[in-house]
């Protein structure tokens, strides 16, 4: 993937003893159980003592009772000392740096007070990974150690560094810091021994090595040089940018780098760095690291060309990182600057968590992009010692945890750092006994059953019998586990059935309510309709009445008009009749006159024609 670092981490879990000089109050109840080694398919592959899994059991008053299992490359129990951690984790990385020229990185990650600084720097009794690494480095290189010449410095200084030897450095530093503040290396513990880890460096005796040491911190998302002491207010943040020699690689520029040639000088330089580092007292730790501290050991392999006398420089870097601890403001009881620091620390660790999860996914063949550019810390961790020209770096993260510490913070830390995780719901309390506080954990029982592996039998016979008894116990556990799982399945089944029944009942009730609602709505509608109907009817009646009155009125008018018309007609007819009568009367009178005249004529003996006319008149 272009532009993506190749870093894939081995992730170890280290448990700290639950008491050790910690001001933190704890009720002593542990929530974390280490599981026995997981047996593989073939007996020969059983690796005694390589424990890789832990389970966490939430305290009884916790809202979730889920039992979670986390897998790591290896789990170091609280009985493991600094030598165990060095031998299993750091020595192989150093071997890669010294023999193969690979970059290496070791980081500690954990909740505040869980033992990160203790792992990296040790205490008065036992030295830490840094001192032991320096010891291995100087002992392995011994008389091959050299200083860089001016021209070699120019040749390999691609980060505008201020490179100086240890004497010049101490002179400069003691002009700023009171010498008595710098711890004297001869007061440091010399144990544990690193004798078994001294390595043979390859190449002829003429091949020399120079070691450049730099120490810097990421404080509030800014990089500060811890070997260039200055007034806190005038501290200048350093840039992290592409190197001059390789465009892909990014380096912290302007660092002070000290050429160290022996363990004493290196320890003194370390003392200066430690003195300069930002510390503070919190409610969780009386000397809490308030920054992420990077100790960088650059190895310059100087290979001389016999023909032209030039020197070829091959570089590899071993970086040790002591991360600040995540903390909950409530527990840390911080305020002001301390609270703001805590915010920066938690934010950068959250980004680191995301990057770790995604880089684990990448190593499993998925292809998510690791968003390492979100903070200075992730940028430094994922790119600083990544040299594209060399082999991919060997990187290990030691997650430190206090099994009796803050459950929430620790489980959160385990969640994002573990290589794999799984969880089971709480099981019924009666199946088997165990040694956890609640006495009910399946995995605690596993631990009891596997106690034999911790004895490491010497003879082949006892090993064989231990294996078979171990296997017998494991198979008994398997049977118990199957019974438990069956019971849990049955319970889950019953719960599903009950839930289904409830869902059916709820459906039926919904249907019932729906019907009720429908009925109510329908009757309401009907009521409204009938009211509307009534209103319409009344309106129609009213209208009809009005129409009737109107029609009556019209009829009246018509009647009157008719009557008036009839009267007129009558009058006209009367007049006509009268006229007619008058005419008839007139005619009658004329006829009567005529008759009279005829009668008179007849009487006077006049013609019959006149008689006929007289008959016609009678008729
Ligand atoms: N494995 C251990 N064995 C003995 N003592 C331990 C162990 N781990 C931690 N301690 C002690 O616990 C205390 C807190 O540890 P330490 O300062 O290393 O925590 P831390 O994780 O670096 O905390 P912070 O993030 O606050 O700096 C110290 O006194 C340390 O000596």
Classified as helix, coil or strand, 285 is coil
Q: Is residue 516 part of a domain?
A: no
Report whether residue 17 contacts ligand 1, using a CB cutoff of 6 Å. yes
On whether 128 is known to bind a ligand per the annotation, the reply is: no
Q: Is residue 529 part of a domain?
A: no
Query: Who wins on pLDDT, 302 or 458?
Result: 302
Q: Are 326 and 111 in contact (CB under 8 A)?
A: yes
| Residue 101 pLDDT grade (very low, low, confident, very high; cuts 50, 70, 90) | confident
Q: Are 383 and 442 in contact (CB under 8 A)?
A: no
How far apart (Å, rounded) are the C-alpha atoms in residues 371 and 383?
Answer: 12
On whether 34 is known to bind a ligand per the annotation, the reply is: no
On whether 81 is known to bind a ligand per the annotation, the reply is: no
Mean pLDDT of 337-351: 74
Report whether residue 114 contacts ligand 1, using a CB cutoff of 6 Å. yes
Q: What are the structure tokens assigned to 412, written together?
A: 């959160």
Which of these ranges, 42-56, 139-153, 366-380, has the smallest mean pLDDT? 42-56
pLDDT number for residue 242 = 76
pLDDT at 23 over 60: no
Classified as helix, coil or strand, 12 is strand
On whether 114 is known to bind a ligand per the annotation, the reply is: yes
410 CA → ligand 1 middle, Å: 14
Name which residue sits closest to atom 8 of ligand 1, judged by CA.
115
**Residue-wise burial string across 32-68, b where 16 or more C-beta atoms lie within 10 A, e elsewhere:** bbbbbbebeeeeeebebeebbbbbbbbeeeeeeeebb
Q: Is residue 46 part of a domain?
A: yes
pLDDT at 362 over 60: yes
Mean pLDDT of 34-43: 70
| Residue 606 pLDDT grade (very low, low, confident, very high; cuts 50, 70, 90) | low
Report whether residue 410 contacts ligand 1, using a CB cutoff of 6 Å. no
Q: Is residue 528 part of a domain?
A: no
Highest averaged pLDDT of the listed ranges 30-39, 439-448, 449-458, 532-541: 532-541
Q: Is residue 490 part of a domain?
A: no
Name which residue sits closest to atom 31 of ligand 1, judged by CA.
118
pLDDT at 210 over 90: yes
Name which residue sits closest to atom 10 of ligand 1, judged by CA.
115
How far apart (Å, rounded) are the C-alpha atoms in residues 253 and 239?
Answer: 6
pLDDT number for residue 447 = 33
How far apart (Å, rounded) are the C-alpha atoms in residues 474 and 230?
Answer: 61
User: What's the CATH number where 167 sits?
Assistant: 3.40.850.10
Name which of 274, 282, 269 is nearest 333 in CA terms.
Answer: 282
Mean pLDDT of 129-151: 92
Query: Who wins on pLDDT, 362 or 382?
Result: 382
Q: What are the structure tokens assigned to 406, written together?
A: 């803050």
287 CA → ligand 1 middle, Å: 9
On whether 110 is known to bind a ligand per the annotation, the reply is: yes
| Pairing status of strand 162-165 against strand 256-260 | parallel
Query: Who wins on pLDDT, 482 or 609?
Result: 482
**Ligand 1 atom closest to residue 110's alpha carbon, by position in its atom list:** 21
| Residue 158 pLDDT grade (very low, low, confident, very high; cuts 50, 70, 90) | confident
pLDDT at 577 over 60: yes
Report whether residue 353 contacts ligand 1, using a CB cutoff of 6 Å. no
Report whether residue 20 contacts ligand 1, using a CB cutoff of 6 Å. yes
How far apart (Å, rounded) are the C-alpha atoms in residues 313 and 309?
Answer: 13
**Ligand 1 atom closest to residue 80's alpha carbon, by position in its atom list:** 1
Q: What percent of the chain has pLDDT over 90?
A: 21
How far apart (Å, rounded) are the C-alpha atoms in residues 369 and 347?
Answer: 19
Q: What is the per-residue pLDDT across 78-95, written as a single tens digit (0 to 9) for each?
A: 999 999 999 999 999 999
**Ligand 1 atom closest to residue 123's alpha carbon, by position in its atom list:** 31
Whole-angstrom distance between the N-terminal and C-terminal Cα of the chain?
Answer: 147
pLDDT number for residue 131 = 95
On whether 405 is known to bind a ligand per the annotation, the reply is: no
**Ligand 1 atom closest to residue 279's alpha carbon, by position in its atom list:** 27
13 CA → ligand 1 middle, Å: 14
Q: Are 318 and 307 in contact (CB under 8 A)?
A: no
Name which of 380, 393, 166 is nearest 258 in CA terms.
Answer: 166
**Ligand 1 atom closest to residue 15's alpha carbon, by position in its atom list:** 1
- Cα angle for residues 589, 595, 601 (degrees, 5° grid): 140
Q: Tell me, what's the ipTM? A: 0.97
Phi, psi for residue 297 in degrees, rounded to 5: -115, 105
**Ligand 1 atom closest to residue 14's alpha carbon, by position in its atom list:** 1
| Residue 76 pLDDT grade (very low, low, confident, very high; cuts 50, 70, 90) | very high
pLDDT at 129 over 90: yes
pLDDT number for residue 120 = 94
Q: Dihedral sign, CA of 89, 93, 99, 100?
A: positive
Name which residue sits closest to atom 14 of ligand 1, judged by CA.
113
pLDDT number for residue 266 = 94
Name which residue sits closest to atom 5 of ligand 1, judged by CA.
20
Which of these ranges, 41-55, 323-337, 456-470, has the smallest mean pLDDT? 456-470
Q: What is the per-residue pLDDT across 297-334, written as a single tens digit (0 to 9) for each?
A: 999 998 888 778 788 888 889 999 999 877 654 454 45
Half-sphere exposure in the Cβ direction for 361 (13 Å, CA): 13
Q: Domain range for residue 174? A: 9-456
Q: Is residue 515 part of a domain?
A: no
**Ligand 1 atom closest to residue 120's alpha carbon, by position in its atom list:** 18
**Ligand 1 atom closest to residue 285's alpha carbon, by position in its atom list:** 26
User: If you average pLDDT over every residue of the chain, what do you get?
Assistant: 78
| Residue 140 pLDDT grade (very low, low, confident, very high; cuts 50, 70, 90) | very high
| Number of domains forming the structure of the chain | 1
Mean pLDDT of 56-66: 83
pLDDT at 610 over 60: no
Name which of 389, 390, 372 is nearest 381 in CA terms.
Answer: 372
* CA 481 vs CA 344, 428, 445, 475: distances in Å: 44, 12, 10, 9
Classified as helix, coil or strand, 578 is helix
pLDDT at 385 over 70: no
Report whether residue 300 contacts ligand 1, using a CB cutoff of 6 Å. no
Name which residue sits closest to atom 15 of ligand 1, judged by CA.
115
Report whether residue 290 contacts ligand 1, using a CB cutoff of 6 Å. no
C-beta neighbour count of 581 within 10 angstroms: 12
How far apart (Å, rounded) are the C-alpha atoms in residues 18 and 79?
Answer: 11
Q: Is residue 560 part of a domain?
A: no
Report whether residue 128 contacts ligand 1, using a CB cutoff of 6 Å. no
387 CA → ligand 1 middle, Å: 32
Query: Who wins on pLDDT, 487 or 138?
Result: 138
pLDDT number for residue 571 = 82
**Ligand 1 atom closest to residue 21's alpha carbon, by position in its atom list:** 29
Which of these ranges, 210-214, 304-308, 329-333, 560-564, has the smallest mean pLDDT? 329-333
Q: Is residue 175 part of a domain?
A: yes
Report the Cα 567 to chain-centroid distance in Å.
109
Report whether residue 16 contacts ligand 1, using a CB cutoff of 6 Å. yes
pLDDT number for residue 489 = 85
Name which of 349, 343, 341 is nearest 323 in CA terms.
Answer: 349
- Cα angle for residues 332, 355, 130 (degrees, 5° grid): 65
Report whether residue 359 contacts ligand 1, using a CB cutoff of 6 Å. no
Report whether residue 342 contacts ligand 1, using a CB cutoff of 6 Å. no
C-beta neighbour count of 153 within 10 angstroms: 18
pLDDT at 16 over 50: yes
On whether 399 is known to bind a ligand per the annotation, the reply is: no
How far apart (Å, rounded) are the C-alpha atoms in residues 332 and 283?
Answer: 4
């Amino acid at each position: 993937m272009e532009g993506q670092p190749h870093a894939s981490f081995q992730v170890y879990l280290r448990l700290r003893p639950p008491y050790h000089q910690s001001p933190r109050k704890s009720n002593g109840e542990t929530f974390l159980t280490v599981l026995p080694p997981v047996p593989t398919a073939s007996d020969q592959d059983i690796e005694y003592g390589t424990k890789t899994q832990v389970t966490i059991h939430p305290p009884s008053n916790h809202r979730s009772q889920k039992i979670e299992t986390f897998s790591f490359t290896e789990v170091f129990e609280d009985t493991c000392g600094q030598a165990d951690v060095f031998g299993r984790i750091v020595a192989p990385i150093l071997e890669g740096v010294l023999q193969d020229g690979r970059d290496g990185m070791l980081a500690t990650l954990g909740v505040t007070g869980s033992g990160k600084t203790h792992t990296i720097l040790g205490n008065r009794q036992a030295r830490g990974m840094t001192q032991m690494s320096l010891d291995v480095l100087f002992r392995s290189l011994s008389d091959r150690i050299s200083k860089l010449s001016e021209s070699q410095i120019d040749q390999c200084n691609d980060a505008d560094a201020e490179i100086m030897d240890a004497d010049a450095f101490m002179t400069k530093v003691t002009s700023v810091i009171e010498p008595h503040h710098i711890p004297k290396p001869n007061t440091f513990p010399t144990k544990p021994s690193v004798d078994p880890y001294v390595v043979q460096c390859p190449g002829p005796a003429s091949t020399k090595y120079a070691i450049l040491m730099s120490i810097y911190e990421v404080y509030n998302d800014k990089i500060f040089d811890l070997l260039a002491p200055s007034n806190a207010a005038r501290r200048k943040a350093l840039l992290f940018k592409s190197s001059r020699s390789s465009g892909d690689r990014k380096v912290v520029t302007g660092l002070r780098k000290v050429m160290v040639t022996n363990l004493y000088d290196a320890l003194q330089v370390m003392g200066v760095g430690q003195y300069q580092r930002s510390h503070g007292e919190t409610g969780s730790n009386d000397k809490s690291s308030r920054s992420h501290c990077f100790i960088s050991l650059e190895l310059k392999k100087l290979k001389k060309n016999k023909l032209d006398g030039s020197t070829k420089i091959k570089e590899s870097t071993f970086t040790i990182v002591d991360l600040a601890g995540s903390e909950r403001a409530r527990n840390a009881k911080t305020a002001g600057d301390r609270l703001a620091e805590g915010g920066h620390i938690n934010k950068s660790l959250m980004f680191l968590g995301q990057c770790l999860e995604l880089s684990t996914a990448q190593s499993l063949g998925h292809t998510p992009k690791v968003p390492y550019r979100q903070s200075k810390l992730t940028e430094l961790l994922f790119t600083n010692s990544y040299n594209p020209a060399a082999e991919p770096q060997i990187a290990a993260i030691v997650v430190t945890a206090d099994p009796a510490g803050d459950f929430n913070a620790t489980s959160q830390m385990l969640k994002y750092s573990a290589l794999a995780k799984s969880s089971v719901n709480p099981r019924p309390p009666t199946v088997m006994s165990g040694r956890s506080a609640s006495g009910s954990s399946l995995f605690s029982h596993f631990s009891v059953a596997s106690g034999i592996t911790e004895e490491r039998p010497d003879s082949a016979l006892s090993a064989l019998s231990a294996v078979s008894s171990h296997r017998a116990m494991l198979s008994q556990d398997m049977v118990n586990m199957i019974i438990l799982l069956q019971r849990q399945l049955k319970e889950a089944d019953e719960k599903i059935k009950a839930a289904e029944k409830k869902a059916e009942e709820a459906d039926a009730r919904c249907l019932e309510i729906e019907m009720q609602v429908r009925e109510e709505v329908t009757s309401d509608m009907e009521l409204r309709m009938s009211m509307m109907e009534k209103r319409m009817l009344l309106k129609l009646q009213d209208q009809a009445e009005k129409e009737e009155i109107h029609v009556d009125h019209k009829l009246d008018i018509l009647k009157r008009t008719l009557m008036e018309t009839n009267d007129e007609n009558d009058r006209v007819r009367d007049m006509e009749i009268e006229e007619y009568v008058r005419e008839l009367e007139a005619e009658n009178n004329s006829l009567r006159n005529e008759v009279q005249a005829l009668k008179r004529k007849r009487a006077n003996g006049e013609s019959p024609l006149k008689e006929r006319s007289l008959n016609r008149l009678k008729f």
